[in-house]
Amino acid sequence: MKSYEFLLSLVYSLYFHAKSFLHKLFNNKSLNNKEFKSKTFSDYLKKNEELWSNNKIKYANGAILVTNFVHQEGYTITECIIAKNIQSFFKLKIVGLIDYGDGTGKKILKSFNINDFIEFQGMSFFLRLFYLAKAFKILKKIKNVDEFISFSIDEISIGKSVYDHILRHTGIGSINYLYYKFYFYLSEALYCNDYSKKLFEKNNFKYMMMAESQFIPSNLIFQNALKFGIKVISRISGPKKIGVRLYSSIDEKHVAKIRLSNELFDRLFSSNKELYSKKGFISIKNVFDGKADHFDPFSEKSFIRVQNKEESIKKLYELFKWDKSKKICAVFSHNLFDGVYLHPWRIFRDNLVWLRSTLNYIKGLDKNINWIVKEHPSDYGLKRLKTSTYKEFEKIIGERDYIKFFPSDYSPSIIKDLANCVVTSQGTPGLEYPCFGIPSIVGGDTHYTGFGFTYEPKNMKEYFKFLDNIESIISNGLNKDQVDRARVNYYITFFLTKVEHPLLHKYDYNRELDMNNFFNESIKLLNSYKEKEDIFKKCLRHQLKNNNNHLLAI
């Protein structure tokens, strides 16, 4: 079986390299060349050069590495701005790590007076064969997918990186056997791992800028940077209001960017509990009422203002034919293929396994609790998904009076007025709903576990036991201290650790940009920029000087 899958990986490699060759042959252009046709792009580059041109810096020993693998103009500009700030603090040279042929990225970096580049090149076909052979030797010894996910080399989590990458690029959601793409992408991971080692052995980097550290090659570069003692700076949120996470240790390789340190939370909670709890509640209430943006761009448009909430709730009860006296638990699904291993551990292999396990379990529970199943907003319109929360619901639950799928034509903001408990694998509802006094059950480590306001099973047995005892959990509710902890955590995570940047503006970084508008707005900000009024830079300086995990807007 494994020999067969290996042979398929060889065939797929031939197809992959032939396709890449033909693409280069008939599309002999740099990445993202649409900007080159935009006059405002050229105008932006010239204006940006004026702000950042400074050839009189006497560099200290060491350098800053700026990675550019996302190929989105807003991402690139933001990374460069932060890197230039760091350069001004520590007088370090900046080096750009870009994909081979990324002409647009190089132009933007050059406008920041960054002139040293390392181009990341993919494998040739013959080099691919070498690494496929290495992958075959490794996979011969691995029994199953779970064992593969745990595979690592010298503290570098190879298996998690590859599994995450496969889910992302196939849209499968979950995989039960080691098929040919494990060989193909493991070969890429092994190559990237070796490449990263050589990169950091040959260069004296002190800092690395990397906004997105998931998938291949970024995740392997990220892990190796930490292993070599390089501090990694990762931008949080955006596009205008941003934060910064500082990673300093290989032990943090699976820690989410927005995960607060216990020390920071305890300090701010003990000193400003009442104030931050109040601000946290106001902040999240504004989001749920449609008066403020959600931090997640996919969820942002879901929380639209409901004109007549009571009427909407009444109609939903009528649609479901539910008795209002019965308690309700809401199950919040996830994006099924994006960022599965952002946390140190999880009970279920991936989000799809969690979803299927949860649905199969609750359909066997007593009917004295009603259940709402809500899909993640990113389930909408993603064509590469091989399944969805709705498809899984139809297949597993079907028609059941006490388990209903939340309809897309209702605002999810009303769920907080319906639910008495929520269940999520690792999603933000587990933090958001306790802010309203609604208990939550999670299916693994998250950025908000360990702070005293969630039900946190350590294994499947405990997880299902919590589901068995939903009535008791609802009856117990949350006390004031737990609610305060949730609200303070929410406020620190999504507000206190972010600052509006004077050189950034709000744009939709998940879709195609209007190039003229994007660069016109950027030029306006360059014209009005005053360094002395740059609060972000002051906060960043304080963060890095004190080696704090997060930037604080205080």
Q: Which domains does the chain have, with CATH numbers?
A: 2-20+127-194 (no CATH), 33-122+206-259+498-545 (no CATH), 262-496 (3.40.50.2000)
Sign, CA dihedral 361-364-367-371, equals positive
Under DSSP, is residue 538 helix (H, G, I), strand (E, B) or coil? helix
Under DSSP, is residue 250 helix (H, G, I), strand (E, B) or coil? helix
Q: What is the pLDDT of residue 37?
A: 59
Q: Residue 280: what are its φ and ψ, rounded to 5°?
A: -65, -40
CA-closest candidate to residue 430, choices 407, 449, 413: 449
Could you tell me how far CA 99 lies from the centroid of its own chain?
A: 21
Predicted confidence (pLDDT) per residue in 90-111, tens digit? 999 999 999 998 999 999 999 9
Q: What is the pLDDT of residue 57?
A: 77
- Confidence band for 218, pLDDT divided at 50, 70 and 90: very high
How many C-beta neighbours within 10 Å does residue 349 have?
A: 17
Rounded Cα distance between 385 and 388, Å, is 7
Least confident range of 44-53, 199-208, 335-344, 472-481: 335-344
Burial status of residue 214 (CB atoms within 10 A of its CB: 0-12, 13-18, 19 or more)? middle
- More reliable by pLDDT, 245 or 58: 245
pLDDT at 540 over 70: yes
Q: What is the pLDDT of residue 50?
A: 95
The mean pLDDT of the chain is 92
Sequence-distant (6+) residues with CB within 8 A of 18 are none
Q: Which amino acid is at 447?
A: H
CA-closest candidate to residue 127, choices 210, 4, 17: 17
Q: What is the pLDDT of residue 84?
A: 97
Could you tell me how far CA 437 lies from the centroid of its own chain?
A: 27
Q: What is the pLDDT of residue 534?
A: 97
Query: What percentage of the chain reaches a pLDDT higher than 90?
Result: 81
Q: What is the pLDDT of residue 383?
A: 64
Which residues lie across from 207 on neighbouring strands?
64, 231
pLDDT at 511 over 60: no
Q: What is the pLDDT of residue 350?
A: 96
Predicted confidence (pLDDT) per residue in 375-403, tens digit? 988 755 456 678 999 999 999 999 999 99
Distance separating the N- and C-terminal Cα atoms of the chain: 59
Q: What is the pLDDT of residue 49?
A: 96
pLDDT at 307 over 80: no
Predicted confidence (pLDDT) per residue in 416-467, tens digit? 999 999 999 999 999 999 999 999 999 999 999 999 999 999 999 999 999 9
Q: What is the pLDDT of residue 306?
A: 64
Contact 79, 501 (CB under 8 A): no
Burial status of residue 553 (CB atoms within 10 A of its CB: 0-12, 13-18, 19 or more)? middle
pLDDT at 226 over 90: yes
Q: Which amino acid is at 49?
A: E
Rounded Cα distance between 361 and 503, Å, is 50
pLDDT at 205 over 90: yes
- pTM reported for the whole predicted model: 0.94
Contact 51, 532 (CB under 8 A): no
Query: What percentage of the chain reaches a pLDDT higher than 70?
Result: 93
Predicted confidence (pLDDT) per residue in 136-192, tens digit? 999 999 999 999 999 999 999 999 999 999 999 888 899 999 999 999 999 999 999
- Confidence band for 291, pLDDT divided at 50, 70 and 90: confident
Could you tell me how far CA 2 lies from the centroid of its own chain?
A: 33
Q: What is the pLDDT of residue 290?
A: 84
**Long-range CB contacts for residues 455-463, cutoff 8 Å, separation at least 24:** 457/347, 458/347, 459/347, 460/347, 460/348, 460/357, 463/347
Which three-class secondary structure string do you get for 178-200? CCHHHHHHHHHHHHHHHHHHHHH
